[in-house]
Copies of this chain bind each other. A is one copy, B any other.
């Protein structure tokens, strides 16, 4: 297991953590301010959201690299299943945006249960078909696709992939070299089978996301905790992820309308650095 007590090379910021990818939240820092703030503090990389990039993906990617940082990923495809699924053109555009940004990873939040079906199994089959249709283009763009299981509370309208095991089942159905998974502690911390599931994931973990699960989580979407403030066993989860071969970025992604999004971004970044060394 890597020692992060004095090393922040792996530390990556998901820009959602500063709140500015949701209207009315956060201090509204521009991508340039975020890049400078991360570079000053020795972060290793940044993960952006599509809405921040507009038609400036290539320009912003260059700016990141010029600051000595990595672009670690792009968040995320439109939904691929469920009532709110995006079109093929929209999905392809998200792949093209990742390529323009120079992002090696594009995260997939799958979308919910397919209309006219029940449960998750049929939706996961259709999800696999849809990913298989887009993965070759992603491969041509040197973009890997990371299927992210979401906490089961997001079933219905946001996901049909609830566990690492579900995500690996979909990867197996797609069976392409550039399709893997992302592991977010918020979504998987509760899973007693996590360690054994991850053993099957060798070399197909494309992302590891950090935050914490607050003991009194009061909002499904926007009440994530800072690492160390909750009950997730962060070091245990990372050890399992690394035992499965992962050696990539640790991406901090905290949706927190009640707490962290109300604070100055510089203070949030400082706290992340501190907690990364001591709690992750």
Question: Within the assembled complex, what's the spacing in Å between the Cα atoms of A217 and B215?
Answer: 21
Least CB distance, A121 to chain B, in whole angstroms: 7
A236 CA to B270 CA in the complex, in Å?
50
- Bound together, the chains give a CA A233 to CA B214 distance in angstroms of 30
Chain A residues with a Cβ closer than 8 Å to the other chain, count: 37
Contact with B along A40-82 (1 / 0, CB 8 A): 0000000000000000000000000000000000000000000
A162 at the interface (CB under 8 A from B): yes
Our pick among B156, B217, B232 for the contact of A118 (Cβ within 8 Å) is B232
B156 touches A153 (CB 8 A): no
A192 to B166, Cβ gap below 8 A?
yes
Main secondary structure of the interface of A (DSSP, over half): loop
Q: Are A192 and B215 in contact (CB under 8 A)?
A: no
Q: Which of A155, A165, A189 has the most CB of B within 10 A?
A: A155
Residue contact B217 to A153, C-beta cutoff 8 Å:
yes
The CA-CA distance from A190 to B152 in the complex, in Å, is 7
Determine if A233 and B119 form an interchain contact, defined as CB atoms under 8 angstroms apart: yes
Please tell me if A104 contacts chain B, counting CB pairs below 8 Å: no
- Contact residues in B for A151 (Cβ distance below 8 Å): 152-153
Within 8 A of B (CB), among A114-136: 117-121, 124
Asked whether A214 lies within 8 Å of B153 as measured between CB atoms, the reply is no
Contacts of A162 in B (CB 8 A): 190-192
Structural contact, B153 and A189, CB atoms closer than 8 A: no
A163 within 8 A of partner (CB)? yes
Cα A118 to Cα B163 in complex, Å, equals 19
Measured CB to CB, the closest approach of chain B to A256, in angstroms, equals 15
A242 at the interface (CB under 8 A from B): no
- The reply on A3 being an interface residue by CB < 8 A is no
CB-CB under 8 A from A189, the residues of chain B are 119, 155
Closest 7 CB pairs of A and B: A153-B153, A119-B233, A118-B233, A156-B215, A152-B190, A113-B231, A155-B190
CB-CB under 8 A for A120 and B215, given A152-B151, A156-B231, A231-B113? no
Residues in B whose Cβ lies below 8 Å from that of A217: 153, 156-157, 220
List, in ascending order, chain B residues with CB within 8 A of A246's CB.
none
Within A87-126, which residues are at the interface with B (CB < 8 Å)?
Answer: 112-113, 117-121, 124
B165 touching A192, Cβ below 8 Å: yes
Closest to A218 in B: B220
Q: Are A118 and B215 neighbours in the complex by a CB distance under 8 Å? A: no
A155 CA to B232 CA, complexed, in Å: 10
B231/A155 in contact, CB under 8 A: yes
